Amino acid sequence: MPDTDIAKESLTPIEPLEFQLPFKALSERLDKVLARLIPEHSRSRLQGWIEGGNVLVNGQPARIKQMVNAGDKLTVFEQLPPESLAFTAEPIDFTVIAESPDWIVVNKPAGLVTHPGAGNWQGTLLNGLLYRFPELHQVARAGIVHRLDKDTSGLLVVARHEKAQTHLIRQLQARTVKREYSALVHGRLTRAGTVKAEIGRDPRVPVRMAVENPIAPKAALTHYAPVRAGQLDDDLSVTEVLCTLETGRTHQIRVHMMSLRHPLVGDVLYGGKLAGAAARQMLHARALSFDDFSTGERVHFEAPLPDDFQRVLEKVLWES
C-alpha cells in the first residue's frame, strides 16, 4: 500500500521563494506586492498562504493587511493547491459488498463525499478507493461512474478498468442500470407515480437544484411508490417510499419529491425537517443491478438500511 504521508511530503515544495524589496519601493500591502512578484498564483491563494503562516516578512509571520516597505525581505513557502492532492490515496472507511475483476460494488456511508471537489479535496470515497485498490490510479476518476450525495447512503458501482468503465457508462446512458432507493418523505403519499421534470441549477440558491426556471436543465425521470404511512414525533405525517431512477441528475430524488410537496425528512436544503432524530436526508440507495462486463449476465445487489435510518423508521407510528 502507498504511504500517503510520504506521498504528500514528496509533493511539497522544499525551497522557499525569497525576495528583497528595492530600497526605492513605496510602502504597500503585502498581498498586493506578492501578487506582482508571483503572478502565477491568485491573490486569494496568496492571502491563504499568509493566513496559514507560510509567508514571512523579515523572518516573522506576516498578516494579510500588513504593509511592507523598502528593503523588507519576503520569504514565501509555496503551498500546493488542494486540488493537487485530490487523487491521493487515503485510508477511508467504507464497505465493499462485492467485487469482480471488472467492478467493485460499494456501500457508501452517509457523510462520505463520493468524489473530490470544491471544499472536499480529500477524505472522499475516491481517495479511499485508490488506497484499497491501487490499480484504480490507472482508471479515469478512479473508476467512479455515478455518485451519491454526501448525506445519502447506499450502493454504487466502480469500474476496475477502462473497458468496464465504458461498458457501465453506456448502460447508464441507455438507462439499463437500475437503482432503487428507500426514502422517508413528509406528508401522506397515497399512490405511485412518475416525475418527469427537467433539473438544473437553482437561479436563486446556487447550492440547490430546481425544476422551476432551472439553469442549464437536463431531462430527469423518477418513479416512486408508497410503501407505508404513519406519524413521526406524534404530529408529523410521513410516508416510506421506494424511488427508482432512470436518470442520474444531481439531487434528483430530493428535487423531484420536493416538487410533489413531499420533501425528504431531514433534507433541510429542500424544505424537509430534522424530525425523529434524523440528522440527514432520509435517502438510501438500497438496490443496484447492471449487466456484468465479462459474462453479460445481470447482477443484482442490495444493502440494508443503515442504523440511523432504521432508528428513524422505528420512531414512526405506522398505520395498520
The residues annotated as belonging to the active site are: 149
Beta strands in 65-220 (DSSP E): 67-68, 73-76, 95-99, 103-108, 153-159, 178-186, 193-196, 199-201, 209-210, 215-218
Helix (H) or strand (E) segment spanning residue 300 = strand 298-302
Select from 112, 31, 18 the least CA-distant residue to 73. 18
Q: Determine contact, residues 74/28, Cβ cutoff 8 Å.
A: no
Burial of 267 (0-12, 13-18, 19+ CB in 10 A): buried
Do 143 and 159 contact (CB within 8 A), yes or no? yes
3-state secondary structure of 263: coil
Listing DSSP states for 148-161 in one string gives --TT-EEEEEEESS
Chain centroid, CA 56 distance in Å? 36
**Residue ranges of E strands in 27-76:** 28-29, 55-57, 60-61, 67-68, 73-76
∠ Cα 293 178 118 (to 5°): 90
* CA–CA distances in Å: residue 214 to residues 197, 206, 209, 256: 10, 11, 7, 13
Supply the DSSP string of 100-129, one letter for each residue. -SSEEEEEEPTT--SS-BTTBSSSSHHHHH
